[in-house]
Structure 1
Amino acid sequence: MNALTKDSQKAAARVGLTSDEIVITGGKPLKGTIQVRGAKNLVTKAMVAALLGETPSELRGVPDISDVQVVRGLLEVYGVRVTSPSTGELHFDTANVEKAHFAEIDAHAGASRIPILFCGPLLHRLGEARIPDLGGCRIGDRPIDFHLDALRAFGAVVDKTYEGIYITAPNGLKGANIELPYPSVGATEQVLLTAVRAEGTTELKNAAIEPEIMDLIAILQKMGAIISVEPNRVILIEGVDRLEGYRHSALFDRNEVASWASAALVTHGDIFVEGARQSEMMTFLNVFRKVGGAFDVHDNGIRFWHPGGDLKPVTIETDVHPGFMTDWQQPLIVALTQAHGVSIVHETVYENRFGFTEALNEMGANIVVHATGLPNHPRRVARRDFEQAATITGPTPLHGAALHVPDLRGGFSHLIAALSAEGESTISNIGIISRGYEHIIEKLAALGADFVYEG
């Protein structure tokens, strides 16, 4: 059994999935209503932010996903009392925060990369942070150098040991002037979570400005932080001596919305995604319409459907917000296999995010990955040295296959490919999907999917 399968089974167990395999008979349109709750990429960071508060915090809209369970376990290792008084709600009591050992942290972290974001809050609360070797999805190099360099800029001392990384702040943390080489979401979160209690003012240049970042800033402001978002990706943070707890309803999960929209398109379905909002989805909605999909915005969600007719090829360049998210391209590529013509996807955020297309080709797709990108193709987004591109020629009928989930978004892409394919597909390692998609089995059933799950 490889490590990825072990990680998948652990993820599945955290959310009550007793099997790591599903058998799908494709060709049936997905129709119905499903609900999305808070964004994985916000909720887990909001949970970490609770460590900074001297009084209890309350977070609503929390999805039942394995990454949330990982962070909950880590908080409890550090002495935080976490309770769930109702579905989708977590309370955090940080009165008894205490130190933890590498072994305890590692046992709860699993493949998650979230422990790196505990550093700033732990340095403020305990004077030290211990970070085990980090995992995460296998989508390319995701170095933590941005994080460690930022922490050093605040005055932290970083020591690497055989167990992981040990970080201290012998002279306290001081405000710093930091310019990120790339507007990394994780590094921006690191700076925010560290700077709010650092002595003095921090200026962060080339910051990420994703909606999830803005929602984290809103949480920190509720806690007593002073944060200004300036033009041209500049964020100013004035450190304060004390932060209180917060009460907050999390931003919806944009990635899950885009995933179900793509599922509606490729299966010729009709899905109402309750909880989705237009303002944070505008870039995706434009592309969805160009491909030939239809949507209707309601006060409580967005309806996505295939209106009939041929799907159209598009050219996409992934980018940081407000560009087209890298997490959106994988499920949409499945729909592009059914578009009439050649679509091109330039991946500029991660250097190895097309690995999932190998399985799609085995199912009958015609996808060519260009390992060094397409340098002579007209572009709006600046080229990066490691970027790749994929050309998708369609339409190509897909047929059932045996699939093994490689990563979170690629796994959902395999899922909807199987739902649209002719015949039967067996998908293993589905626990990985539970890292970011709540109640996936129940939602498939609600949408009328034809599947067998022995769980």
Structure 2
Amino acid sequence: MGLTSDEIIINGGRPLKGRIEVRGAKNLATKAMVAALLGQSTSLLRNVPNISDVRVVAGLLALHGVQITKGDTPGDYYLDPSRVESAHMADIDAHAGSSRIPILFCGPLLHRLGEAFIPDLGGCRIGDRPIDFHLDALRKFGAVVEKLPSGIRMTAPNGLHGADIELPYPSVGATEQVLLTSVLAEGTTELKNAAIEPEIMDLIAILQKMGAIINVEPNRVIFIEGVEELHGYKHSAIFDRNEAASWAAAALATEGDIFVGGARQEEMMTFLNIFRKVGGAFEIEDDGIRFYHPGGELKPVVIETDVHPGFMTDWQQPLVVALTKANGVSTIHETVYENRFGFTDALNKMGADIVVYKDGLEGYKRRVARRDFEQAAVITGPTPLKGADVEVPDLRGGFSHLIAALTAEGQSTVSNVGIISRGYEDFIGKLRQLGADFVFEA
């Protein structure tokens, strides 16, 4: 059987070397596009990555009457919401695919139209990802939520009003929901236990540009004073720190040297500390960060994933491949998602020694309090990897499989690579730039 457009054949063992550029963060650009619904005039979002998740959101916005025009500069998107209208649930379902983005349309659509529909939500298979946080918050704003077999219908018969909301967990998605809903709600909203990721701060900056009044207080508290009207914005999206960390891990695992243009130190400090502890080296420049393997042994580490400013869950998967080369035992406590180590099955198939403890591990001197749903992975190294046929399970796990194949001795076939395009712009072109040895048919 020949190679399909969703497969890549990689000949491993070649260090990745060169320069690539990272554009705006997937986790900001898509939310900023939704925020344009709130304005009474056209918004300009710059530095938008060319990824499938952006195309999904663009399609959903178009279904609701938002006119989207690409600017002369690559990555520039003009979003005109002046003719917003309702969309059929079936159309939304067809365009959304596996994305969970439609839930964030609810607040803006309730303000603009008085109603919103969302289909069943998908996403990567890394945990239950309940939307209860979102629905509970929307109810507190005054939304009436009706669960249907095909999805969820919401109305706001009396409009939306400010609310006091405390999240049981500093969820990024739920924080975004509250921000997008509260800015036009009547009165003041107090959000406790909010997420404070850099992408959240960038979204707040966008909303402030639109005319919102938002105060970020200490201890994860955000106050939002509702205003009567918002206008469009002009904004350049923050860089994608997840993609930057993924290429950094690839440089370390392949004993390579990659300059990641567009990456910034401030948003990556926690990652940079771990990268250095493992044995990687980096150099900070004004226009990006150089990540490289300086030679010598890699060292084992203990990592506990957490919400910002902790070590991101999206960072651990690519780094695990490098840890298979470390001399000793590394442990990763996954405290954010309950099912994020499925990708390690393929690494073990390639020769890694990774044991996943589905109920986590008891430990002392933990920075992050142990959580009931957490898992742990124990990686013993060094273990040389050998080529194999593997299938991508999810976005970050998929990039980890690419790194493993690039590191491994011999040939690997990685299938279902289309998932990777959800969050990594032109990863095939970037692999070519870095000198990878592979075959891919678009």
Superposed CA deviations along residues 26-56 of structure 1, whole A, max 9, x for unmatched, are: 0000000000000000000000000000000
Superposed CA deviations along residues 172-224 of structure 1, whole A, max 9, x for unmatched, are: 00000000000000000000000000000000000000000000000000000
Residue of structure 1 equivalent to 2:204:
217
**SS of aligned partner of 2:23:** coil
The within-5 A match list for 1:263-278 is 263-278=250-265
The within-5 A match list for 1:9-408 is 19-86=5-72, 87-408=74-395
**SS of aligned partner of 1:27:** coil
Return the offset for 1:376.
Answer: 3.4
**SS of aligned partner of 1:148:** helix
Superposed CA deviations along residues 49-102 of structure 1, whole A, max 9, x for unmatched, are: 000000000000000000000000000000000010231110001110000010
Superposed CA deviations along residues 96-145 of structure 1, whole A, max 9, x for unmatched, are: 00000101101110000000000000000000010000000000110000
Range with bigger deviation, 373-382 or 137-146 = 373-382
Q: If the length of structure 1 is used for normalisation, what is the TM-score?
A: 0.96
Residue of structure 2 equivalent to 1:451:
438
Q: CA RMSD in A?
A: 0.6
Q: 2:82 and 2:281 mapped to 1: Cα distance? A: 50
Return the offset for 1:383.
Answer: 1.1
Letter in 1 for 2:207: L
Letter in 2 for 1:21: E
Letter in 1 for 2:356: V
Residue of structure 2 equivalent to 1:3:
none
**SS of aligned partner of 1:224:** coil
**SS of aligned partner of 2:206:** helix
Q: If the length of structure 2 is used for normalisation, what is the TM-score?
A: 0.99
Return the offset for 1:162.
Answer: 1.6
Return the offset for 1:226.
Answer: 0.1
* Structure 2, unaligned runs of 5 or more: none
Return the offset for 1:163.
Answer: 1.4
Return the offset for 1:375.
Answer: 1.7
Letter in 1 for 2:406: L
**SS of aligned partner of 2:196:** coil
Q: 2:131 and 2:369 mapped to 1: Cα distance? A: 23
**SS of aligned partner of 2:107:** helix
Q: 1:145 and 1:433 mapped to 2: Cα distance? A: 27
Q: 1:385 and 1:314 mapped to 2: Cα distance? A: 23
Superposed CA deviations along residues 228-262 of structure 1, whole A, max 9, x for unmatched, are: 00010000000000000000000000000000000
Q: 2:415 and 2:385 mapped to 1: Cα distance? A: 18
Letter in 2 for 1:124: H
Letter in 2 for 1:400: G
Letter in 2 for 1:37: R
Q: 2:345 and 2:365 mapped to 1: Cα distance? A: 26
Return the offset for 1:171.
Answer: 0.5
| Percentage identity across paired residues of the two chains | 78
**SS of aligned partner of 1:452:** strand
Q: 1:316 and 1:333 mapped to 2: Cα distance? A: 10
**SS of aligned partner of 1:251:** coil
Q: 1:382 and 1:38 mapped to 2: Cα distance? A: 32
Q: 1:417 and 1:216 mapped to 2: Cα distance? A: 34
Q: 1:189 and 1:375 mapped to 2: Cα distance? A: 33
Q: 1:121 and 1:416 mapped to 2: Cα distance? A: 39
Letter in 1 for 2:22: V
Q: 2:364 and 2:386 mapped to 1: Cα distance? A: 32
Residue of structure 2 equivalent to 1:5:
none
Letter in 2 for 1:305: Y
Superposed CA deviations along residues 401-424 of structure 1, whole A, max 9, x for unmatched, are: 001000000000000000000000
Q: Which runs of 4+ in 1 moved over 6 A?
A: none
**SS of aligned partner of 2:284:** strand
Q: 1:184 and 1:213 mapped to 2: Cα distance? A: 11
